[in-house]
Structure 1
Amino acid sequence: MIVRTLAAAFLASTLAMTAIPAQAQENMPLSPKQVDAVKKVVRDYLMEHPEVLGEALEALREKMRAQAESDALKMVEARRDEIFNNPDDPVAGNPKGDVVVVEFFDYNCGFCKQTFDPVLEAVKADKNTKLVMKEMPILGPDSVLAARVALVAKAQGQAKYDDVHRAFMKFRGRLDEKTIFRLAGEAGLNVEQLKKDINGPDIDRQLKKVSELARSLEIGATPTFIVGDRLLSSAVDQSTLKQLIDNARKGLAKKG
């Protein structure tokens, strides 16, 4: 409704200015008769050309989308180290890769599960790409619990994290508390010790840090990827991610 109102107001003001003599535009306000005349011109034009309003709405949406993306990328640049080089974050692929793919995800997100294999395959195939995984549990308490368990596993080593991460992502259906601890045990973690460690202050700090970072970037959905100068909130297939990686590498070459 707000977008429609803005677009209509913009169109009306543009048409109004073309209908008023130049001297009146510069030196005097519209009289009631002129206002009525402008309203009639606008109404008649829209009745004859309703497609214009649709075009104006689409142009406004595109402008707003582009502005939002531009603002997000400025914030990415301002917080680059925190996004791409945070030592707390689990990583896959080449830790020293020239291109970094960042993924914000939730273990109960169906699209995140859908992209799990394609993302890993694209990163493995490239050989010079680093994947940074940001635990962003937004789909309820079970998602938060799964993220906590995964981060405890990370504290025991990247290999432990990889096993738990894979088990959670490969599970079909919604993860609940019973399933989370069962899968963690099957991945080799000591479940009793795990239950003691999941509420530790370091785990709290890591989750809060990612949550605050996501808010600053206006990321509210999973999966969301950052690759080079692109921020994409949607599932991706292997070929799409490969193209994003290639484009990011070309961008680095131009800067270098």
Structure 2
Amino acid sequence: MPTRRTLLAATAAATALAALPALAQAPARTNPMPEELRRALERDPTAPVLGNPDGDITLTEFFDYNCPHCRTMLPLIQQLVSSDPNLRVVYREWPVFGAGSDFAARASLATLPMGRYWQMHAGLLTMRGRAEEATVMRVAREVGLDEAALRQGMLAEPIERHINTSHMLADHMGLAGTPSFICGDEAVFGAMTLDELRDLVARGRRTMGVAS
């Protein structure tokens, strides 16, 4: 799938702000992405963070466990993080491939307070077949999770809030699908090579005035 690059222009960002009450009072900025929108993308406490939590640049990925291109990106993101000690990666679970994807996203997010998110995340992205209730629970058992506790955890309010926010942000920024990557003021849709990911992060650092 070819990538599609777009700049997150001020007008598009303003539309997103209008849809999110917590962001509605964003002041005008010369930066194309208002700070409130950037905070929603990069600093949501419900979102899993990989890499350096105090890194100088954030790469946000919108993904779905049933997206084949998202699965191919898993080892590349891991390589990117390993090679860049100042990179912070935020994962936004954006289930757009049906009920199985929604179940997988909720199950995965429920493992975050259990300290098992990365095992579950990797298990779901590397398993064979579609993510649906039966296969998701099979992966949960394989990584040593208690099924009853997991199902209870899936009902937590932060999970609902995370998924709803992902849909709202993606809709009002006009994201085309998964995977979508955002760094600095640029969004890229589609599978990327490791070099393309590095270039996106480098451009993000330049946009944000971060010395490389």
TM-score range, shorter chain: 0.7 to 0.9
Gaps of 5+ in 1: 1-64
Aligned partner of 1:80 in structure 2 is 38
Identity across the alignment (%): 31
**Matching residue of 1:235:** 191
Deviation at 1:202, TM superposition (A): 3.1
1:222 aligns with 2:178: yes
Q: Is contact 1:72–1:217 with CA below 8 Å preserved after alignment?
A: yes
- The reply to whether residue 169 of structure 1 matches residue 125 of structure 2 is yes
Q: CA deviation at 1:130?
A: 0.2
Paired amino acid for 2:50 = A
Write the distance in 2 (CA, Å) between the matches of 1:208 and 1:254: 31
Residues 178-222 of structure 1 deviation map (CA, whole Å, 9 limit, x = unaligned):
110010111121112212332333322221122112112122400
C-alpha separation in 1, matches of 2:209 and 2:175: 28
- For 2:81, the equivalent position in structure 1 comes to 123
Corresponding residue SS for 2:81: helix
Q: How does 1:141-220 map to 2 (within 5 A)?
A: 141-157=99-115, 160-220=116-176
User: 1:87: Cα distance to partner?
Assistant: 1.2
2:59 aligned partner, one-letter code: V
Question: Which structure has the highest strand share of the two?
Answer: 2
Query: How far off its partner does 1:175 sit?
Result: 1.6
Alpha-carbon offset, residue 151 of structure 1: 0.7
Classify 1:203/1:252 alpha carbon distance in 2 versus 1 (closer, same or farther; 3 Å). Answer: closer
Given candidates 49, 56, 63, the residue that maps to 1:105 is 63
**Deviation for aligned residue 1:155:** 2.2
> 2:64–2:179: 8 Å Cα contact kept in structure 1?
yes
Q: 1:189 corresponds to which letter in structure 2?
A: L
Name whichever of 183-192 and 94-103 sits farther off: 183-192
Q: Deviations over 1:205-244 (max 9, x none)?
A: 2211221121121224000100112111111111101111
Q: Aligned-pair distance for 1:69?
A: 4.6
- Which TM-score applies when normalising by structure 2? 0.81
Higher helix share goes to which structure? 1
Distance, in Å, in 1 between the alignment partners of 2:194 and 2:132 is: 29
Tell me: higher relative CO, structure 1 or 2? Use CA pairs within 8 A at least 6 residues apart: 2
**Does residue 91 of the first structure (1) align with residue 49 of the second (2)?**
yes
* Count of equivalent residues: 188
Shift of 1:254: 7.0
Runs of 4+ in structure 1 deviating by more than 3 angstroms, as ranges, are 71-76
The answer to whether the Cα contact below 8 Å between 1:119 and 1:237 also exists between their aligned partners in 2 is no
Q: Flag the structure with larger Rg.
A: 1
